[in-house]
Structure 1
Amino acid sequence: MRRIFRIGTVAALVLLAAGTLQAAELSQKADRLHVSGMLDGSAAREFAGRLQQGGVRVVVFEDALGGSADVAVAYAQAIQAAGVETEVVGQCHAACAYAFLAGRSHRFGEGDQVNALLIPVAARPGAQELGTRWRGDAARQTLAEFTDVDAAAASAVPAASAPSSPARGSRRWQPEHGLLFVSSPTLFGRIYNTYYCDGSQGRDFTRCELLPDADPRQLGIVSD
C-alpha cells in the first residue's frame, strides 16, 4: 500500500493507536455529552439515561477506540431515539463509528487535532458501493454484518476470554480492517480523505491505501 499521511497526521494516529484502551467515560458540558474510551458496555445504561432525560443536543465521541458490536447497537438506538447529533473529535473506531452514524446529523470536530473514523468492512468497496453504503438501510446492513461477525467470534471462545471485537480468525472482518475517513487541519483549512486499510498494516495506518474521489462529506459520512 502507498504511504498516505503528512508527518503530523502520521504522528497523531500512530501515537493514539499505541495507547491503552480504557472503559467508556462520560462527561457533559452544557448540551454536549462527551464519550471517550472503549464502548464496552460499562457506561451504556448511564448513556441512555442521560439522553432520555433530555438536555443533550450533541453526542461527542472523543478518542473512542472500539468496543463490542452489541454495545454499538445499544448506543446507536439511544442516539436515534433521542434524535441528537453526533460529532467525532480525535479517533472513533469500529463500534464507535457505527454509533456515530446513528446521529440525526454527524460531523467531524474543529480544532487542530486529526479526526479519524474507522468503519469495519468485509472487503474493499467499489466506487459505486462506496457512494451509497452509508445512507439509510445500506448503513444499517453494514452494522448488521459487523454485529453478526462479533457474535460468531464471541461464541467460538469461552465467555471469560471473549474478545470485545471480532476475533482475528473472522473471515469477514479483522481488527484495523476497514475504511478510514480522515479530517486533517492545514494552514488553508481542513482536508478530507478516505483510505482503505486491509488489516495487514496493524495499527500503522500510514500504510493504508488512499481512495480517489472519496471525500467523506460527499459520501454522507459527515455533514459538514
Structure 2
Amino acid sequence: MFTTVQSLIFLMQIFHRHEISVATTFFLFLLFFANSADAEVRYDAHVITVSGKIDSLVYDDLSKIFANESVSTIVFKNSGGGSFFPALNIGKLISEKNVKTVVEGVCASACAIAFLGGDSREFSSEQADSALMFHPGFAQASQVPAQETKAIFFKWIESRTKHPPSPEFVAAMNKISNRRGGVYFLSPSHGIALKKGSSVFFCEGSEGNIGKCTTQSDSSAEKMHITSN
C-alpha cells in the first residue's frame, strides 16, 4: 500500500506524462492528499520536520523536542492543514524559540498559521515548487470561515509580520466560498509563478485551478512580509 507521499509522487508522475497542468495538480493535492495524512514530526541534526495534519499532537511533540534538543530550523513539509487553534498554539510556541521556519512543498491553512511563528521564514531551496496558503479557521462542516477566527487570524498575521494585512488580503478572505479558498503565496521559482508572472493568488475556492484565481503581480510573500527573503 502506498503512503500518502508515495501516492502524491505517483500522481504527479502520471500528470507529467499526460501533461496535466501543475496548477491542477496543486489544487488536487490540497483536496485529496495533504489533509488526509497523519501528522509526522521528525528531528535530525537541529532540524525538525513537520508533515501531515497539524494538531495538538504536533504541539506535544514539538514541546518535547524543544525541551530536550537544540533546534535551529523547523521545516513544514506537505501539509494541507489541520486545526486552527492548535496551529496557533504551535506558532506561538515556535515564536518563543528564535528559530527559522521553512516551507517545503505545500503548507496550507493551519500549517501556514504555524509557519508564521518562525523568527525568520523562507521557502525551501530544496524544492522549487513550494507554496503557502492562508485562510482563517472554519466551523465544523462549514465551507465559510468562522467570523470569530478572522479577528484572531488577522491579529496573528500582524503580530508576526509587523504589518496589518492589506485591504486586498482581507477582502480575499471575505470572498472565500469553500475550504480551498484563500491567499496562495508561491515560491518565486514555482512553475505556476514563472508561467503566470505572479506568485500571489487570491482564490475564492471554486476555481478548480489556481491559474483561474485573481493574481497580484505586483506583490509577493516577501513584499507582504510573510517570508523574510
Structure 2 length-normalised TM: 0.67
Higher-strand-fraction structure: 1
Against the structure 1 CA distance between its residues 8 and 113, is the aligned structure 2 distance closer, same or farther, given a 3 Å change threshold? farther
Q: 184, 202, 211: which is aligned to 1:206? A: 211
Shift of 1:176: 1.5
Higher-helix-fraction structure: 2
Which 4+ runs in 1 deviate beyond 6 A? 170-173
SS of alignment partner, residue 60 of structure 2: helix
CA distance, structure 1, for counterparts of residue 189 and residue 20 of structure 2 = 12
User: How many residue pairs were aligned?
Assistant: 180
Q: 66, 88, 110: which is aligned to 1:73? A: 88
The answer for unaligned runs of 5 or more in structure 2 is: 1-18, 137-144, 146-153, 166-173
Aligned-residue RMSD, C-alpha = 3.3
CA distance, structure 1, for counterparts of residue 84 and residue 109 of structure 2 = 8
Residue pair 1:181, 1:192 contacting (<8 A) in 2 also: no
The share of aligned pairs that are identical, in percent, is 25
SS of alignment partner, residue 37 of structure 2: coil
CA distance, structure 2, for counterparts of residue 49 and residue 192 of structure 1 = 40
Could you tell me which residue of structure 2 aligns to residue 42 of structure 1? 57
SS of alignment partner, residue 216 of structure 1: coil
Letter in 1 for 2:70: G
Letter in 2 for 1:95: A
Q: 173, 183, 187: which is aligned to 2:187? A: 183
Higher relative contact order, chain-length normalized (CA < 8 Å, sep 6+): 1
SS of alignment partner, residue 138 of structure 1: coil
Mapped pair 1:135 → 2:161: yes
Residue pair 1:183, 1:192 contacting (<8 A) in 2 also: no
Against the structure 1 CA distance between its residues 23 and 48, is the aligned structure 2 distance closer, same or farther, given a 3 Å change threshold? same
The answer for unaligned runs of 5 or more in structure 1 is: 1-5, 123-128, 140-169
Mapped pair 1:9 → 2:13: no
Could you tell me which residue of structure 2 aligns to residue 193 of structure 1? 199
Shift of 1:198: 0.9
CA distance, structure 2, for counterparts of residue 205 and residue 11 of structure 1 = 7
CA distance, structure 1, for counterparts of residue 177 and residue 54 of structure 2 = 18
Could you tell me which residue of structure 2 aligns to residue 222 of structure 1? 227
Residues 175-213 of structure 1 show CA distances to partners (whole Å, capped at 9, x for unaligned) of: 1221100015379xx8861000112225x3232221120
Could you tell me which residue of structure 1 aligns to residue 68 of structure 2? 53
Residues 88-139 of structure 1 show CA distances to partners (whole Å, capped at 9, x for unaligned) of: 00000111111111110100001344111001167xxxxxx9xx95623736
CA distance, structure 2, for counterparts of residue 184 and residue 112 of structure 1 = 11
